[in-house]
Structures are given as C-alpha cells and as structure tokens.
Amino acid sequence: MELFTHISNAVSLLWSWGSILWTILGLLIGIVLGALPGVSGVLAITLLLGPSYYMPPLQAIIFFTAIYTGSIYGGGITAILLNIPGTPAAIATGFDGYEMTKLGRHNQALGLGIISSVIGVFFSYLIILFFFFPLGRIVLKFGPAEMVMVVIFAMTSIGAVRGEVGATLLFGMLGVMVGTMGSSAYGSARGNFGVDALYEGIPVIPALLGMLAVSELLIMIERQYVLDHGFRPQQKLKEIIRGMASVIHHKGTILRGVLVGTIIGLMPAAGSTIASMVSYGMAKRASAKPETFGKGNPEGVIAAETANNASEGGAVATMMLLGIPGSVTTALLIAAFMIHGMSPGPYLIREHLDFAYAVILIQFFQAICLLFLAALFVNYFARIVYLPTATLVPGILILAVVGALAPRGLLVDVVVMLLFAAFGYFMKKLEYPLMGFILGFILGGMFDRELIKAILLFEEDWGALGNRPAFLILVIITALSVIWPKISAKVKSLRQ
Amino acid sequence: MSPKLWGRIIFILFIWFFALRYYGECLNLRQPSEKLTIIAAFWVLTILAAWEVGHLIKKILKEKNFSTLTSTKFLSKILKDKRTWLVGAVILYVIFIPIAGFYLTSFIAFCIFSFILGSRNPVKIIVSGAVVIAIIYGIFSSLLQLSLP
C-alpha cells in the first residue's frame, strides 16, 4: 500500500509540460551524440551539468536520464550501419547488425535495434519499480561502516571487471584525496594550496568536463571527420517498421536480454557493455543455429540491444539506492543529484523517495518517446558522423567553457577544467582506469565523512562490526572481487 | 625503450609527488580525524604506486628494445602536432575572456580553433562561428539567464 502512495506522489511530481519537453530534448541530444563514436552521452551530460544548475531538480534529472537512454540506443545506429559503435555498449550490436547491413537488411536491423532498446528500457524499469521499495528498506539499515565498505567495494569491483584491481585502487585513492581537497569537516583549509576559490573543494563540474569532454576532444582531433566512411545506406521507414514487428518471433531472446541486462546493470561496475556481451553469448549458446551468429542473425542484434538498454534500469537503481556509480554516466548522474542538493544512497531513499520513484516512472514515458523519435529520425541521426572535426571540436570546446563557468562564473573553474583535461588525456593515452579516479573523486567527500563517523562509533569496540551482517557481507564480496581475477586466471591456466 | 612505459612511470611519479605534497600539508591539521582519510589514502596510494612502478621497470628490462629519440626530434614532433597549437590557443582564449568579454573572445577563438584543425574556408569558418555563438547566446543567456563574463 505504501508503494502505491509513493507512486501516486511521484506521478503528481511529474505532472508538468517540463517533464515531457526535457524528455524529448534529452532523447534527441542523447541519440545524436550517442551515434558519434568517441563522443557519446557522457560528453552531452558533462557539458550540460553546469547549465542544469538553473533547472528544477526533477527536470534536470529527467533530462539527463533521457540523454542516457538516447545515447545507449544511438550508439547502436552507427554499429549497425557502419560497424563503428558509437559507444562500447554497442560493440555486440555490430557483430550481426553490420552483417545484416552488408546483406542489404539494414532497415530490418535498425527496426530491431529500436524495438529491442525500447523493450529493454521499459521492462528493466518495470522490474526495478517493484523491487525498489524492498531494496530501499535494506539500504536504510546501512550505517557509516557499510557506506565506507560500499565505496571500497565499488573500486575493487571496477578493477576486477577491467582486470586491474591495483591500478583502479591506486587512482581511486588519488580520487579520494582530490575529492577531499578544500576544507575539512572542522572548517580548516585542507589541500587548497593557498587558492581561496578552492576552499569549497575542487569544483565537480569543471573537473568532469575536463576529464571527460575536453580530453576526448584532444583525441578526436586526430581524425579529420568524426567518421570517414564511404558507404551511406538509405533508410526506409516502412522497412524499419516491418523490422520492428519481426521482434515478435524472438520472445525468448528478448526475455533473456531484459533479465541479463537488468541483473548485470544492478552490479556496480559491470555496465551496459558487459550486459550486451553476456546476453549475446547466451543467445548464441541457446540458438539452434549458433553458426549463423556473426553472419547477420537478427537475434544477435536483439540480444545485444535489449541487454545494453536494460542495464540502464539496474545501474540507475544501484546509483539511487547505494549512491555508487556503475559507469561514467551514472557517476555523472550522481554529480547531477549532488548539484541539486541530493545525495544518492540511503539519504535519497529516506528524504526523497517520491523523487526517486518519479525518476523511475518517467522512464516508461521515455521508452515510448524513444520508439517514435528513433523511428522517425533514424535517417538523420546516422548522418551526424560525417561532421568535420574542424567545426565540431571548436563548438564543443566553447560549450565546455560555458559549462565550467555556469555554476559560479569564476575563471578559476576554467583553469581547473584545463588541468583536469590534461590529467584525463594522459590517463586515456596511458590506458589507466579513469573510472577509478572519477569514483574516488565523486565519493571522496562522502567516504571521508562516513569513515570519521565509523571510527567515532566503533573506536571503543571494533568487535561490534562483527555483529553487522551487511558489513560482513560487503567485506567478503570486496575480498572476493580482489582475489577473483587471480582465481579465474589460475583456473583457466589449469584447464589449458 | 617503450615511450608508453616510461610515460606511465613519469605519470605515476608525478601523481605520487602531488599526493605527497597534499599529505605533508595535512599533517599540520589539528584534529586527528581531519587527516585520517588523507593519511590512509596516501599510504595505500604509495604502496600501489611502488608496486606499479616496479612492475613497469620489470617490463622495460624484459623488452630490451632500446631505441633513441633525441630531444630535437621530440621537440619538432611536439611543435608539428596540432594538439600543441590547440592547447596554446585555448590557454590564450582563457586569458582573453576577462579582457575582451566572453562572446567576442569565443567567436575569435572558434575561428582560430577551426583554422588550427585544418579548416581553410574563411566564409565557412566565420558563419559556423557566428552560428555557434548565437546558439550559445540564445540558450544560455536568453533562456537560462546565465551571466557569462
């Protein structure tokens, strides 16, 4: 009964033209930028974090989740048409999507991509809608010790997924240090190196803009066009719709994709790329004709697109429940919540549960909008990749400066952005895990506060931590995430 | 020698020195709890950085591929790279924002950035610059009432 009260409150929060407009605008921006290899929704969200400061909180979050949804779908367009995924999450889509294009079935592949994405988003959030309340009750029992362990677990699990726990933890700790710069809980200046403007800490928006947007531009300018490709297939709406309808013959693949995507999305660090790869692999194993995968089998597109979009529901749920990001995009969503004075995790569940439900409910509307927008404009979205970088890069650079100036209007924030751009560029060029740093940086302040609270609570009796089951479970899974890559490598070598 | 491996070592050392500087500054804080997170993070970072650098040195010694890159060659490579020119132009852009104002500086910066990145059609550069600045003005100044320098 309590669940329905929250849902009805959430509906009343959403009841405005703003929700509709920001959803449509966010989806359009997300699809366009998601289709651009190397740009993606991350850049869009980063650029718009600053200006979102002036938007009402719910509409800002709606806008960003719409960009998120649009960008995951958008990444699949170029994967299908040009075999160049706009985002890593669309790599598996290209396995069969591009083969279908080569066989002249690109309209069917695009149709399947659209409907699979819509189904993935819709049903993953439906699952989350019913499990959010009971999961939220568990999270409310988390105290400072558990929150400290949650941050450590997030770092080690990201490292485990990438196969480099040490480097992720190293940069995670650097992130924690940078995230605590400014002033301490007692008001003393801490790590601001004499710069008064940094007393409130390193500004999150300029730092993220530098690391994610500007550094990416420096990599992008190595190319003359975002994509230089001679082949330009024509899209036909009728055939795309026929392709969408053909999904009815693949119910099992759809169901598997939704479940795999949602469950993997719930795990910190796993994310949409892994979800689509696992779902693709499972669809191939379950198929009566596994040899047709990679040669233009529509089930390959359905499996990949359903799962990568379904992972969004899981990732957003973990982000709102625990306050830990599963990907760069959800890290940016946490930053968006923080800008509007809300801290995802137990605090959000306790103080703003209706708000959290509103974020979940709007996703159903977003899924329906995505269906129409994608079908109508897919032809135009695919053309974005032919933009010259000499026009695109300067435009984005100036937008990044606007984004850095937006929250405070201080030029020092632009300098911070440039310093973090250099840092992000070297991190990417040297192939170090930027995500580890971002996680530590965003959660550094919270980690510091919760660690102090945990010490004050348990310094008299550390043994009391043993009576906290959630803490013990988190310690065990953190230890497992550290040793798991070593165990699995050992098992693999023994098998060989 | 592999420039990437050396690059990684220099990068790790650079961040370690930064962490050391921050750690040193925090040691002067009065309350123990104010510096606890920093001390813990610094020591974990130090151990992991030492491990990473050791691992990288081992890799370099294993490679045994010692090619040379003279400082003159390196400098000419850097100067020919359009990224160097773009970064220089961005720094100048940031310096000129408070002097000439955001919109005028941004318009000129857009044209210069486009030129550095290979665009040679002056009409195209000026029109694209004007369109971008007009969009920024329309959305951020008129719609969102954002005050830019």
Task: Identify residue B63 by its one-letter amino acid code.
Answer: E
Per the CB < 8 A criterion, the answer to whether A416 and A404 are in contact is yes
- Is residue B110 less than 8 Å (CB to CB) from chain A? yes
Residue of B nearest to A191 (CA): B22
CA distance A397 to A406: 14
Taking an 8 Å cut-off on Cβ atoms, the answer to whether A430 and B4 are in contact is: yes
Query: Which pLDDT does position A16 carry in this prediction?
Result: 85
What percentage of chain A has pLDDT greater than the value 70? 92
Q: How many CA atoms lie within 13 A of A343 on its CB side?
A: 11
Contacts of B44 in chain A (CB under 8 A): 169-170, 173
Q: Per-residue pLDDT averaged across A455-474, rounded? A: 86
Give the count of domains, chain B. 2
Taking an 8 Å cut-off on Cβ atoms, the answer to whether B119 and A391 are in contact is: yes
Q: Is residue B72 domain-resident?
A: no
Please tell me which residue, A24 or A49, carries the higher pLDDT value: A24
Q: Is residue B105 domain-resident?
A: yes
Residues 374-403 of chain A whose Cβ lies under 8 A from any Cβ of chain B: 388-391, 393-395, 397-399, 401-402
What percentage of chain B has pLDDT greater than the value 90? 44
Q: Is residue B11 domain-resident?
A: yes
Q: Is residue B19 domain-resident?
A: yes
Residues B82 and B115 in one domain: yes
Residues 121-140 of chain B whose Cβ lies under 8 A from any Cβ of chain A: 124, 128-129, 132-133, 136, 139-140
Per the CB < 8 A criterion, the answer to whether B46 and B86 are in contact is no
Nearest to A114 by CA among A91, A95, A93, A89: A93
Task: Identify residue A78 by its one-letter amino acid code.
Answer: T
Please tell me which residue, A93 or A325, carries the higher pLDDT value: A93
Residues B49 and B10 in one domain: yes
Task: Identify residue B49 by its one-letter amino acid code.
Answer: A
Residues B87 and B130 in one domain: yes
Rounded to the nearest integer, the mean pLDDT of chain B is 86
Q: How confident is the model at residue A49 (pLDDT cuts 50, 70, 90)?
A: confident
Query: Which pLDDT does position B138 carry in this prediction?
Result: 83
Across the interface, which of A181, A190, A406 has its CB nearest the CB of B29? A190
Residues B58 and B21 in one domain: yes
Q: How confident is the model at residue A125 (pLDDT cuts 50, 70, 90)?
A: very high
Q: What are phi and psi of A39, to 5 degrees?
A: -100, -65
In chain A, what are the domain boundaries?
A: 2-143+198-415
pLDDT at A283 over 70: yes
3-state secondary structure chain A: CHHHHHHHHHHHHHCCHHHHHHHHHHHHHHHHHHCCCCCHHHHHHHHHHCHHHHCCHHHHHHHHHHHHHHHHHHHHHHHHHHCCCCCHHHHHHHHHHHHHHHCCCHHHHHHHHHHHHHHHHHHHHHHHHHHHHHHHHHHCCCCHHHHHHHHHHHHHHHHHHHCCHHHHHHHHHHHHHHHCCEECCCCCEECCCCCHHHCCCCCHHHHHHHHHHHHHHHHHCCCCECCCCCCCCCCCHHHHHHHHHHHHHHHHHHHHHHHHHHHHHHCCCCHHHHHHHHHHHHHHHHCCCHHHCCCCCHHHHHHHHHHHHHHHHHHHHHHHHHCCCCCHHHHHHHHHHHHCCCCCCHHHHHHCHHHHHHHHHHHHHHHHHHHHHHHHHHHHHHHHHHCEHHHHHHHHHHHHHHHHHCCCCCHHHHHHHHHHHHHHHHHHHCCCCHHHHHHHHHHHHHHHHHHHHHHHHHCCCHHHHHHCHHHHHHHHHHHHHHHHHHHHHHHHHHHC
Taking an 8 Å cut-off on Cβ atoms, the answer to whether B109 and A398 are in contact is: yes
Sorted by sequence, the CB contacts under 8 Å of residue A277 that are 6+ apart come out as: A91, A92, A304
Query: Which pLDDT does position A270 carry in this prediction?
Result: 60
- Is residue A56 less than 8 Å (CB to CB) from chain B? no
Query: Which pLDDT does position B126 carry in this prediction?
Result: 93
Across the interface, which of A177, A390, A409 has its CB nearest the CB of B19? A177
Which of B40, B67, B94 is the last residue before a domain boundary? B67
**Radius of gyration (Cα) for chain A, nearest Å?**
22
Residues B16 and B58 in one domain: yes
Which of B14, B37, B67 is the last residue before a domain boundary? B67
Across the interface, which of B51, B82, B102 has its CB nearest the CB of A166? B51
Taking an 8 Å cut-off on Cβ atoms, the answer to whether B132 and A414 are in contact is: no
| B32-70 residue pLDDT tens | 878 888 999 999 999 999 999 999 998 888 876 655 556
Report the range out of A219-223, A276-280, B36-40 with the highest average pLDDT.
B36-40
pLDDT at A12 over 70: yes
pLDDT at A81 over 90: no
Q: Per-residue pLDDT averaged across A34-58, rounded? A: 78
Residues B85 and B42 in one domain: no
Q: Is residue B149 domain-resident?
A: no
Contacts of A216 in chain B (CB under 8 A): none
Residues B82 and B63 in one domain: no
Q: Per-residue pLDDT averaged across A466-473, rounded? A: 87
| A442-453 residue pLDDT tens | 888 888 888 888
Task: Identify residue A249 by its one-letter amino acid code.
Answer: H
Residues 27-46 of chain B whose Cβ lies under 8 A from any Cβ of chain A: 29-31, 33-38, 40-42, 44-45
Query: Which pLDDT does position A37 carry in this prediction?
Result: 63
Query: Which pLDDT does position B144 carry in this prediction?
Result: 67
Q: Is residue B124 domain-resident?
A: yes
Query: Which pLDDT does position A119 carry in this prediction?
Result: 93
Taking an 8 Å cut-off on Cβ atoms, the answer to whether B49 and A177 are in contact is: no
CA distance B126 to A362: 41
Taking an 8 Å cut-off on Cβ atoms, the answer to whether B132 and A166 are in contact is: no
Query: Which pLDDT does position A152 carry in this prediction?
Result: 84
pLDDT at A363 over 60: yes
Which residues share a beta bridge with A189?
A183
Sorted by sequence, the CB contacts under 8 Å of residue A414 that are 6+ apart come out as: A206, A401, A404, A405, B94, B97
Nearest to A154 by CA among A350, A441, A455: A441
| B117-146 residue pLDDT tens | 888 889 989 999 999 899 888 877 776 667
Across the interface, which of A185, A389, A415 has its CB nearest the CB of B34? A185
Q: Domain range for residue B119?
A: 77-143
Q: What is the pTM of this model?
A: 0.78
pLDDT at A382 over 70: no
- Is residue B105 less than 8 Å (CB to CB) from chain A? no
Within 10 angstroms of residue B76's Cβ, the number of other Cβ atoms is 11
- Is residue A167 less than 8 Å (CB to CB) from chain B? yes
Residues 7-26 of chain B whose Cβ lies under 8 A from any Cβ of chain A: 7-8, 11-12, 15, 19, 21-22, 25-26
Q: Is residue B148 domain-resident?
A: no
Q: Is residue B34 domain-resident?
A: yes
| A62-79 residue pLDDT tens | 999 999 888 888 878 877
- Is residue A25 less than 8 Å (CB to CB) from chain B? no
Nearest to A118 by CA among A219, A9, A240: A240
Query: Which pLDDT does position A72 carry in this prediction?
Result: 81
pLDDT at A174 over 90: yes
pLDDT at A237 over 60: yes
